[in-house]
Chain A
Amino acid sequence: DTAVSQTPKYLVTQMGNDKSIKCEQNLGHDTMYWYKQDSKKFLKIMFSYNNKELIINETVPNRFSPKSPDKAHLNLHINSLELGDSAVYFCASSHITDTQYFGPGTRLTVL
């Protein structure tokens, strides 16, 4: 009965590979987000979808592509992974602009 779930929890891969992270929420929220947390713990918003429509698209390399198949899911696909992509990626959801609830994170390590 996890509210916001992400898979995988850990992802270790080689430079140049393509990988995806999946997020699902069962809170009935209409808005979902992807955040990147770097090694210094800074949180950076990457994308947000409201009712499957992209509403926040921050300055992020176009190697990162979000996809929202429905309101309960938001996936993040990353092409041609680079060393600097190593970070923890968090998914979150909210009802419109109300409180955001976070998933447990996906720790991505690029070798």
Chain B
Amino acid sequence: AQSVAQPEDQVNVAEGNPLTVKCTYSVSGNPYLFWYVQYPNRGLQFLLKYITGDNLVKGSYGFEAEFNKSQTSFHLKKPSALVSDSALYFCAVRELSNYQLIWGAGTKLIIKP
């Protein structure tokens, strides 16, 4: 069965420091992996995705994620955090030709000035 784990409910980072939000997944075939961000009282916004190719994927707002097949991980990263990055981040996975996304529980990212 497909599953996604975001092991941290909350991540606290000082402004200007690098940040990492972790995601691990389990699928039976090749994974399609996604990161979304949700700001308070807003809908989810697409950040980036991995389908195939380069393991390092670059997305919106300076975020990037690294696909690691052996560790079945897709961690979200940013070299220098901004206070405005504070939000709820969701990782999601699906298999090829499967309409249904499997969602992680979300990680609250707090960036302190």
Contacts and interface: CB of A to CB of B under 8 A. Distances in A.
A66 interface: no
Q: Which secondary structure dominates chain A's binding surface?
A: strand
B43 A102 contact: yes
Interface residues on B, range: 20 to 34
B88 interface: yes
B49 A97 contact: no
Interface residues of A, number: 21
B88 A101 contact: no
Contacts of B103: 42-43
Interface stretch (A48-56, A70-78, A79-87): A48-56
Closest 3 CB pairs of A and B: A102-B43, A102-B44, A43-B103
Interface of B: 32, 34, 36, 38, 41-46, 49, 88, 90, 94, 96-101, 103, 105-106
